[in-house]
Structure 1
Amino acid sequence: MNSFENSPTVTKSDSQWREELSPAEYKVLRKAGTERPFTGEYWDSMQEGVYECRACGAELFTSKEKFSSHCGWPSFFAPLAEGTVRYLHDKTLGMERIEVRCTACDSHLGHLFKGEGYDTPTDERFCINSICLTLRPADPA
């Protein structure tokens, strides 16, 4: 797992983030909130393309790593590339979890869960809030 070795390349003041993001986006991306399960735009989408950070546009995941986990949030078994996301230990809500953040802008994306038994190459589930992502559809062939 990578740590946060470098400072974010996208830095904005809190007021800039509030101006650019909707209140719901701000709550999740900047304040580590969570959207309700089975309500987000991409939880059950299998459309091909690249998922970008809604706050800064950094490429984070692709549809090639997306899978149906039936948990109510988009699930990926790996990020698009090493270093696109960073990890923090999260001890909120009385649980120990691994928080996933965008390396470029330090926005909260969701959590990483390991060893749940999914039939994926990594047996990892990046459980990401739809509101944190923008899908850039693949070009039609």
Structure 2
Amino acid sequence: MTAPKLVLSDDQWRERLTPEEFAVLRQAGTERPFTGEYTDTKTEGVYQCRACGAELFRSTEKFESHCGWPSFFDPADSESVILRADDSMGMRRVEVLCANCHSHLGHVFEGEGYPTPTDQRYCINSISLRLVPAGS
């Protein structure tokens, strides 16, 4: 895995982020399902990393998965995220990180049968994202 472009100490991250944001973005926490601000959002725009502002996803790749978190079938650019094995919680998953600052975003799942072009579901915490509406 390549080194992050933005490197801050935990204290510096704590100054930038709320305690809830820090818990998810920097400590790989997860927000409760169906509670995030972007779970059901249909606003057109770009989803950025809440920690560093890097463009991660676009509303054109967002879809309704009814899983409790925003779901995307593809990142805005394949190099905007890093995927790595996550064997925590007694299961094998693939963690999604922001390539720019290595903040935790969520997980990606494959082969679930959603009618999307990639058959992938990037299950992303709302608190890891910031939506910039189209035209802003």
1:98 aligns with 2:94: yes
Gaps of 5+ in 1: none
Q: How many residues matched?
A: 136
Residue from 121, 124, 129 that aligns with 1:133: 129
- The amino acid of 1:28's aligned partner reads V
User: C-alpha distance in 1, partners of 2:134/2:18?
Assistant: 26
User: C-alpha distance in 2, partners of 1:134/1:101?
Assistant: 15
- 1:1-141 residue pairs with structure 2 within 5 A? 4=1, 6-139=2-135
**Identical positions, percent:** 62
Shift of 1:37: 0.3
Give the 3-state SS of the residue equivalent to 1:27 in structure 2.
helix
Shift of 1:74: 0.2
Give the 3-state SS of the residue equivalent to 1:89 in structure 2.
strand
Shift of 1:82: 1.6
User: C-alpha distance in 2, partners of 1:45/1:82?
Assistant: 23
Shift of 1:87: 0.7
Q: 1:50-94: per-residue Cα shift (whole Å, max 9, x none)?
A: 000000000000000000000000000000012100011001110
Shift of 1:22: 0.2
| RMSD of aligned residue pairs (Cα, Å) | 0.8
Shift of 1:139: 1.0
Gaps of 5+ in 2: none
Give the 3-state SS of the residue equivalent to 2:127 in structure 1.
helix
